[in-house]
A and B are shown apart, each in its own frame.
Chain A
Amino acid sequence: MRISEQAKQETRVRILEKAAELFIDKGFEDSTTRDIALAAGLAAGTMFNYFPSKETMAMTMVNEAFRQGMEDFQRRRTGEEDLTEELFLFIASGLRRLQPLRPFLGPVLERSLSPFPRKTVCQEGEAARAGHLDAVQEIIVRHGFTEAPDYVAMNMYWSLYLGILAYWTNDPSPNQEETRALIDYSLRFFVQVISGVWSDKGETHAG
């Protein structure tokens, strides 16, 4: 029996929905692919045709959230923002879409976005990283820089962003407001670096 494209799509969505429910309920580590298949009403083998692992499932959700976040960001931009503000809007829009997944994201992001060399590279993680950095570069270039910042600066940015994500997944404050402050500080710091402007806030040794 041939499965239509539409049916395949629906199955994909169902699998992800059930997976998300389970991840939130039992945590990422403790959910098994068997559980997910069962919940989605599929045989395990069938399910693997759609998603080779639960990591892939989780990162697909993450990428979907980031995609929606990007759309939100484009829609919300007014064009009047300065660089720091625009970057903030971008990151905040992404996190807001990521919010429903927060309860289980820690271990997922750790595996998929780890900056340390791994035996198997997570494709979806790579896609997320590349997509994010491309967007950031585009934003920066829009703000009057002659060229995109080099790999050192982008590396710094990515470290800051990973730090933000890590903090956010564990942030106990209401609405993760402390992460918001962290984003603010991190971005102001980053923008200072690439602007080459050190304000008098620099801590030079007196005398």
Chain B
Amino acid sequence: MQAEEGKTTESLQMEMLLDVLPKESATDPTGQRLAKLITRISNKRVPVSSFSRIWTLGSLNARVTAGYFAYWLRSRFSDADKKQRLKSEAHLAAALKLFGTMGYLRGAVMKIGQMLANLPEVVPEEFAEVLSALHFEAPPMHYAMVREVFLDEFGREPEEVFASFDRQAFAAASLGQVHRARLKSGEEVAVKIQYPGIARTIKADLRNLRLLLQPLCLTTDWQNTLDKLADIEQMLLMETDYEQEASFGKEARLLFTAADRVVVPQVFDDYCTKRVLTTEYLAGCHLDEYLAGNPTQEDRDHFTNLLTVGTFRIYYRLHWFLADPHPGNFIFMTDGRLGMIDFGCTRAMTDEEWLLICELERATLELDEARFNRATAKACLFDGPEEMEPERLEIVRRGVYWNMEPWLKDGRLFDFGDREFFMRGVDSLMEMTRKRYTRGSPLYLWSNRFVFGGRAICYRMKGRCEFRKIHQQESAWLRHEPVRS
């Protein structure tokens, strides 16, 4: 106690910070360098370098949220009795500043935060509310701005293009906002409009992020981190191309019949450009509203089934990950169908990647440990399992087994609402992150989000489904060439 009093606040803060930061065993074993970087940032004003900075973490809501996220993140790295101390603001401020420099990339950070919000046991309940309200906010567009976009994209005002057009957006999208409208031919549509110039912001902010991380770069895994950042950048930029998204949506729609009760909304090509996406409006609600209606177990199971069928069909027939499976992308329709929207963040696998994943799947199902280890090593970009640290191999294996668990479990129904199962998945992911065993093909960034995100939704739904049956049904399409229409 005495020794502590003798220390200055600053050195106490540094100590606490050092304590909780992840350590890079090769170049920064004590975490000193990272701590210095964060302290340096927290003591300076970060210059405004990209446009989106004026929105400095958006609203107060977002700032508070980012702070909680930072707190949560650190608290995962420390033990229980330090949690209280961690609530002190000094490091929250540092983390805020750090996230603040990321401009658009905080969109990616925000998405992670959002994902965490969908893992309700992971984040204390009171934070989850706040976190889930947080999604990347492109600055809101007033109607005058929307009109300008229309004049550029269609040469006409919105009211000339559509029979009717709501001036107020009814939903935010990660890069813009969505308005309801009606076509002259009568269909009710959702019109997604992108905020002008956002692609450049993405590039600028990711460049800043790379620079920011530079001092920590001399690690064996830096190249891997760079590859991942490049992949993230690719994906974010892809999201700015609505024509690409329209094309994904159209392909996905063809996979489902009316009997499937899963629907991907129709795309109206005549009203689509790179910056404007017009799709069929699906009437229904999102997860929160759905759950607030106290649905029966039967109903929850029904939707869990549909969600599994929907995501699996796309996965097996097109070899795609829906890399952003958050609640906003699913519509619980009033007629009992499940709507799947927003294909902006779709990761298509290469044939090579698909083969490896199939290999992993098969090795697991056949309980062939040697084969499983080989596939796992390959996924982590090692030549063989013998090249991996035993702990790394073990921890990664645990993660992969968790992914595959619903395949392996006996019984007709798999209960995604099972808390123990879910928490094991979370712990496994956190352990991998904490120990820095995250090296791997960038593909796994997306596959993890896909699996995790999807299961988190099902967990919140407390839903069960006939997993093995669905798997058999959908993987009957298993072949090396994805089906293209």
**A residues less than 8 Å from B42 (CB atoms):** 206-207
Q: Is A17 an interface residue (CB 8 A)?
A: no
Contact yes or no, B89 A88, CB < 8 A:
no
**B residues less than 8 Å from A188 (CB atoms):** 54
B58 to chain A, nearest CB (A): 8
Q: Is A85 an interface residue (CB 8 A)?
A: yes
In the bound complex, CA of A144 to CA of B94 (Å): 41
B contact patch SS = helix
In the bound complex, CA of A80 to CA of B168 (Å): 12
Nearest opposing residue in chain B for A85, CB measure: B142
Contact yes or no, B151 A96, CB < 8 A:
yes
Q: Is B236 an interface residue (CB 8 A)?
A: no
Q: Is B466 an interface residue (CB 8 A)?
A: no
In the bound complex, CA of A185 to CA of B97 (Å): 21
List residues of chain A with CB under 8 Å of any chain B CB: 76, 80-82, 84-86, 88-89, 92, 96, 173, 175, 177-178, 180-182, 184-185, 188-189, 200-201, 203, 205-207
**B residues less than 8 Å from A207 (CB atoms):** 42, 89-90, 93
A-B contact pairs, 19 of them (CB 8 A): A80-B167, A85-B144, A86-B144, A88-B144, A88-B145, A92-B144, A175-B152, A177-B152, A178-B196, A180-B196, A181-B51, A185-B54, A188-B54, A200-B60, A201-B54, A206-B89, A206-B96, A206-B97, A207-B90
Contact yes or no, A203 B145, CB < 8 A:
no
**B residues less than 8 Å from A88 (CB atoms):** 142, 144-145
**A residues less than 8 Å from B251 (CB atoms):** none
A90 to chain B, nearest CB (A): 9
Nearest opposing residue in chain A for B151, CB measure: A96
Q: How many residues of B contact A (CB 8 A)?
A: 32
A contact patch SS = helix
The A-contacting residues of B in range 179-216, CB under 8 angstroms, are 195-198, 200
Contact yes or no, B93 A185, CB < 8 A:
no
In the bound complex, CA of A81 to CA of B198 (Å): 24
**B residues less than 8 Å from A180 (CB atoms):** 145, 148-149, 196-197
**B residues less than 8 Å from A201 (CB atoms):** 54-56
Nearest opposing residue in chain A for B143, CB measure: A85
In the bound complex, CA of A189 to CA of B144 (Å): 17
Q: Is B139 an interface residue (CB 8 A)?
A: yes
Most buried by A among B139, B144, B148: B144
**B residues less than 8 Å from A175 (CB atoms):** 152, 196
Known: A88-B142, A92-B148, A175-B152. 17 other contacts (CB 8 A): A76-B147, A81-B142, A82-B142, A85-B145, A88-B144, A178-B196, A180-B148, A181-B51, A181-B196, A185-B51, A185-B139, A200-B59, A201-B54, A201-B56, A203-B45, A203-B56, A207-B90
